[in-house]
Amino acid sequence: MSLRIATWNVNSVRLRLDNIARFVASHSPDVLCLQETKVQDGDFPLDRLVELGYRHILPHGMKSYNGVAVLSRVPFDHQETKGWCGRADCRHAIVRLPGGLELHDFYVPAGGDIPDPEQNPKFEHKLRFFDEMTQWFTANRTPQDKLLLLGDLNVAPLETDVWSHKQLLNVVSHTPVEVARMADLQASLGWVDAVRHFIPPTERLYSWWSYRAREWETSDRGRRLDHVWVTPALAPALHAAEVVREARGWDTPSDHVPVVVDLE
């Protein structure tokens, strides 16, 4: 059995429906995990997405902000959502697929502009979110479980995950304290970076380009904020990975592009 799983911060699911359809037509993921859906569950565009072949949908959203969703052609054996840091801000959806594969779709807080938790409550929230994730996975799951952790994690950990390591060292998403928190989470279950499993860390790779850059492709000032990780138990099933860079150039694009992983 093969399974194609994709993650995409669409920056409003209703605004990007045509782009989602275009992506589905070109890449046909079996499971598509979305972030920043920006819509309450009652207004989620279920009918259009069912037309695209996704009969099994777990939306978890709120008005205008945040939100995650899992769209699947494969039935769910189990589905739930979880809150973090004492908030109900719709950042985590969990589904279990046949065969015991458990998928965690995350939208980690961006963290604001000032990389100081004492001066910036948004940055403190981001660091605490990572700490709670690390503690929860350590206490509740094992490396022997078949798990995927994916989504917009809002950290570009490697020097080659940003357009300029030196210039972004003090910019939120690439600061040493965030990278260290992400490393702690990755170490919690020995998570394997599914994309870097195929695309070597020496190669520059981005999944986000700011809307502020009109000539985004020419300047190429990107960051790799979107990730797919698997536990060691699932790592032997990894077959291929792709960052769909061309989606950033589509009409009415998100500032993020899809990331695709194939499992066998």
Q: How far apart are CA 173 and CA 23, in angstroms?
A: 26
Tens of pLDDT, residues 219-246 = 999 999 999 999 999 999 999 999 999 9
Give me the chain's average pLDDT, please.
98
Residue 208 and residue 166 in contact, taking contact as beta carbons nearer than 8 Å: no
Residue 144, token pair as written in the block? 């022997």
What pLDDT is stored for residue 256 in this prediction? 98
Q: How far apart are CA 64 and CA 11, in angstroms?
A: 10
Window from 8-12, 30-34, 210-214, 221-225 with minimum mean pLDDT = 210-214
What pLDDT is stored for residue 1 in this prediction? 78
Tens of pLDDT, residues 51-98 = 999 999 999 999 999 999 999 999 999 999 999 999 999 999 999 999
Residue whose pair of structure tokens reads 């060292």 in the numeric block: 169
| Per-residue burial over 94-119, b = 16 or more CB atoms within 10 Å of its CB, e = otherwise | bbbbeeebbbbbbbbbbbbeebebee
What pLDDT is stored for residue 128 in this prediction? 98
Residue 31 and residue 97 in contact, taking contact as beta carbons nearer than 8 Å: yes
What pLDDT is stored for residue 160 in this prediction? 98
* Residue 101, strand partner residues: 97
pLDDT greater than 90 at residue 129: yes
Domain boundaries, position 116: 3-263
Q: Nearest-CA neighbor of 227 among 184, 250, 258, 201? A: 258
Q: Per-residue pLDDT averaged across 210-222, rounded?
A: 93
Over pLDDT 90: what percentage of the chain? 99
CATH number at residue 154: 3.60.10.10
Q: Per-residue pLDDT averaged across 130-158, rounded?
A: 98
Over pLDDT 70: what percentage of the chain? 100
pLDDT greater than 90 at residue 214: no
User: Is the model more confident about 1 or about 166?
Assistant: 166
Domain count of the chain?
A: 1
Q: Nearest-CA neighbor of 224 among 189, 249, 199? A: 199
Q: Per-residue pLDDT averaged across 173-197, rounded?
A: 98
What pLDDT is stored for residue 213 in this prediction? 84
What pLDDT is stored for residue 39 in this prediction? 98
